[in-house]
Amino acid sequence: MDNMSTIRWGMIGCGSVTEVKSGPAFNKVPNSKLIAVMRRDAQKVQAYAERNNVPYYFTDANELIHHPEVDAVYIATPPKYHEAYAIAAMQAGKPVYVEKPMALDVAACLRMDAVSKQTGVKMVVAHYRRALPLFLEVKRLVESNAIGEIVSVRIEMLKYDGGNLDPVENWRIDPTLAGGGYFYDLAPHQLDLVFYFFGKAMRYQGAAFNKAKLYEAEDTVNGVMELNNGIHFTGHWCFCVEKGMEKDVFEIVGTQGKISFPVFGNEITLEQGDATKIIHFDPPMHNQQNFIAQIVPYFLGTGNNPCTAEDALQSMRVMESFVYGNNK
């Protein structure tokens, strides 16, 4: 792959999220082109391909994986299918870009990583917020000691359930497809940023509950961590509040100030003494474009992996601990 000049992508799973966040970005990044898509629904996959000018479309993932013009595979299915598709692609010699959460559980992630190492085929996990300007600015502020020595980090997410409680239509509330509930869908972004900013977790423990009993998965999660630099982390997630109660808070407290921002928003609030500064960022047209622009050189042999399996396993281990009690 290192002697190629363009990565021709095949995308497995082309639901509505890929229409804006990721799909178009593959054609906007240098040396990158989306040439094939797969979805089990024949009418929907054909419509997606025609709407987005994608030359090939399939209802069978293996046909896409083994198509001679597909160089690399992006997996955008529910987490249940990540492991099998990623392993099939890597065994076919095709580098893999897999959505978060990396898989259903830590054991599946480890198996995927083992195949990547055994085959020597590259794999990247879609913690793409690492490449967005807002979070790069938070990292810069932290590393430049803008708020002094970091003391603590707090995440609070309160979210309305969205109203769609049909596990067939809404796979995110079906643990057999998602690994957990909304926590497994949204917390990977948040927790990955904790590790991206502050390094590894030394100890962690948590508990999860199904308070509203609206579906099988947990809807409330609490957790604490001690990071390797002595920073204390607390997290609270609740996905069964009323609409007016919603919150998205990521708060970093230092000895000389505070940085706060929503992980799913566009502003940083920087507090230093009596001064408060709001730093606004325009939302990106395609959330994953900056990240894909780092993956393509990596797959072509001229760049580094922007998010390794080892990186992604940090948040997977912590989520599994918080929800299922595998505390460390």
Residues 141 and 96 placed together within one structural domain of the fold: no
Spatial CA neighbour of 106 closest among 326, 306, 328: 326
DSSP, collapsed to helix, strand or coil, labels residue 286 as coil
Asked, for residue 224, whether it belongs to a domain, the answer is yes
Residues 257 and 153 placed together within one structural domain of the fold: yes
CATH number at 91 reads 3.40.50.720
| Total of domains in the chain | 2
Asked, for residue 315, whether it belongs to a domain, the answer is no
Asked, for residue 157, whether it belongs to a domain, the answer is yes
Per-residue model confidence as pLDDT tens digits over 54-74? 999 999 999 999 999 999 999
Predicted confidence at residue 95, as pLDDT, reads 98
Where do the H-state alpha helices sit in the chain? 25-28, 42-51, 61-65, 82-91, 106-119, 133-143, 175-178, 182-198, 289-300, 309-324
The phi, psi pair for 153, rounded to 5°, reads: -130, 135
Per-residue model confidence as pLDDT tens digits over 220-249? 999 999 998 899 999 999 999 999 999 999
Asked, for residue 323, whether it belongs to a domain, the answer is no
Q: Give the angle subtended at the CA of 265 by the CAs of 262 and 269, to the nearest 5°.
A: 55
Residues 157 and 291 placed together within one structural domain of the fold: no
- 99, two tokens: 């959505």
Q: How far apart are the first and last CA of the chain?
A: 39
Asked, for residue 275, whether it belongs to a domain, the answer is yes
Residues 64 and 23 placed together within one structural domain of the fold: yes
Average pLDDT across the chain, whole number: 95
Per-residue model confidence as pLDDT tens digits over 149-203? 999 999 999 999 878 888 778 999 999 999 999 999 999 999 999 999 999 999 9
* Mean pLDDT of all residues in 129-157: 98
Asked, for residue 320, whether it belongs to a domain, the answer is no
Predicted confidence at residue 16, as pLDDT, reads 84
- 155, two tokens: 């995440």
Residues 18 and 78 placed together within one structural domain of the fold: yes
pTM of the model: 0.95
pLDDT confidence tier of residue 212, bands split at 50, 70 and 90: very high
* Domain around 62: 7-126+287-306
* Residue 211 pLDDT greater than 80, yes or no: yes
Asked, for residue 327, whether it belongs to a domain, the answer is no
The answer to whether residues 299 and 172 touch, using CB atoms and an 8 Å cutoff, is: no
Residues 261 and 181 placed together within one structural domain of the fold: yes
Asked, for residue 322, whether it belongs to a domain, the answer is no
